Amino acid sequence: MALNNKKGKLLVVDDNQGIRNALKILLPAYFAQVELLASPKTLVSTMEAFNPDVVLLDMNFYTDINTGNEGLFWTSELKKMYPDVQIVLFTAYADIALAVEGMKRGAFDFIVKPWDNEKLISTLKAAYEASPKGAGKAKKDVSSDMYWGNTPVMNQIRRTVDKIAPTDATVLITGENGTGKDVLAREIHLRSSRRARPMVCVDAGAITETLFESELFGHVKGAFTDAHTDHIGKFEQADGSTLFLDEIGNIPLHLQAKLLRVLQNRTVTRVGSENQIPVDIRLICATNMDLEKMVSEGRFREDLYYRINTMHICLPALRERTEDILPLAERFLARFAEKYRRTAAGIDPEAAELLRSHLWSGNIRELQNTIEKAVILSEGTSLKAEDLSLEKKSKEKVAPKQTLDEAEEQTIRNTMARCNGNLTLVAKELGISRPTLYSKLKKYDI
């Protein structure tokens, strides 16, 4: 039944003339204003002129944008430029994995072609209700607090954190990709006396060598060609707070000396200036690399290693804390069911067994991504085995003394296969930047 009091402005972007014709007949009965575009070439100008509340966006077009997938590109662009607009993705069955990725980037939901009219209208109305002009309010994401579990190794780490968090001691966190090093860093910061100010995070592996000093230490206007204004570096931004240097093992050797000098003197000198600026920071570093081995091989400065290694915490792989798999999965289920407005509230026995038996080479991050996708695709009140897209694997296949590099390579190869080589999706699922992914692909000859 059509709305008696039609509300909301809806923009449809689809290159199929037949689909546009059908929607031109259907949608005006439910929305106050409807505009239709054949391609995203004029999308930005139309957004400015029409100011829609909801955009129904096709996933694939034939334009000059070379992004790998235009639906993902435009989802990201629209959410950056118009954060209040609600985006519903229009996708074919083959693109469901990409639509799921689109929801992670901020899309409200997705509709599969060929569509059901009732489902389409219901989803678009819900998207409007979640917009600022709608009657409802978008729900906030659930906080992702540290989950300790009850394993002996995690209990010991918790006792250590209880002791060191209130201090300003420098902390080095190591562990495989996806074990939650960034979550632990934030937990330490939130328990410290510096918690009133936000922790400043730096992905050291994603900073190019040419921008390293500028990003960390800042620069003054005119220091180089594109330095049009003064720029405050990450160290200054973290003054009075915590600086988290992730992937510190990726910093080239010749730049490590500059980092060490700042850590020793607790002063920074912006590029193009001679003035020394004092900084008061608490430093937390993280890496999945074996820094001791790198020191012995001459790839990491020994003096820098000891400077950042006042306290060392090594997070275990998820396969070493299997009793925490289901509790973690249930936490992720509750978070994503609320975020994506799904009814799933439990995990059925077959799905639970599949979760327990999986290798989880990508650790907690892989588990989180698996549950997030399953929740998005779920239709009932519980997650089923078919929602998880996992295959049963024998845990005996995991080498008990697998090195961090071997585990990282295995994780990247598995993710590459799962994402069909789409580097954007691989980087997103691994939680790293594309430059970092490129360097790791080169490192492991993938």
Please report, for the domain that includes residue 30, its CATH number: 3.40.50.2300
Residue at 45 is within a domain: yes
- pLDDT for position 139: 39
Choose among 322, 324, 355: nearest CA to 149.
324
Domain-terminating residue out of 314, 349, 377: 314
Q: Are residues 124 and 181 in the same domain?
A: no
Antiparallel, parallel or unpaired: β 242-246 and 200-203: parallel
- Is the separation of the CB atoms in 348 and 385 below 8 Å? yes
* Average confidence (pLDDT) per 10 residues, the chain, 446 residues: 70 93 92 92 90 92 57 90 91 78 88 90 90 58 68 93 94 96 95 91 88 92 86 93 96 94 95 94 96 95 96 96 95 93 93 94 95 92 91 49 73 81 80 80 84
Residue at 134 is within a domain: no
- Is the separation of the CB atoms in 67 and 86 below 8 Å? no
Residue 209 CB neighbours (<10 A): 10
Number of domains in the chain: 3
Sign, CA dihedral 82-88-91-95, equals positive
- pLDDT for position 399: 45
As a whole number of angstroms, the distance between CA 170 and CA 159 comes to: 17
- pLDDT for position 66: 42
Residue at 135 is within a domain: no
Q: Which CATH number belongs to the domain containing residue 404 in this structure?
A: 1.10.8.60
Q: Are residues 346 and 392 in the same domain?
A: yes
- Can you state the angle between helices 434-443 and 404-418, rounded to 10 degrees? 110
Residue at 2 is within a domain: no
Domain-terminating residue out of 129, 161, 196: 129
Choose among 308, 251, 287: nearest CA to 408.
287
Residue at 326 is within a domain: no
Q: Are residues 221 and 283 in the same domain?
A: yes
Residue at 330 is within a domain: no
Q: Are residues 167 and 298 in the same domain?
A: yes
Q: Are residues 48 and 111 in the same domain?
A: yes
Q: Are residues 357 and 414 in the same domain?
A: yes
Residue at 141 is within a domain: no
Q: Residue 226 belongs to what domain range?
A: 152-314
Residue at 137 is within a domain: no
Domain-terminating residue out of 270, 299, 314: 314
Q: Are residues 310 and 353 in the same domain?
A: no
What does the DSSP assignment read for 230-285? -B--HHHHTTTSEEEEETGGGS-HHHHHHHHHHHHHTEEE-BT---EEE---EEEE
- pLDDT for position 223: 85
Q: Are residues 306 and 162 in the same domain?
A: yes
- pLDDT for position 3: 45
With residue 37 as reference, give the H or E element that holds it: strand 33-37
- Enter the tokens of residue 409: 């390579």
Q: Are residues 19 and 116 in the same domain?
A: yes
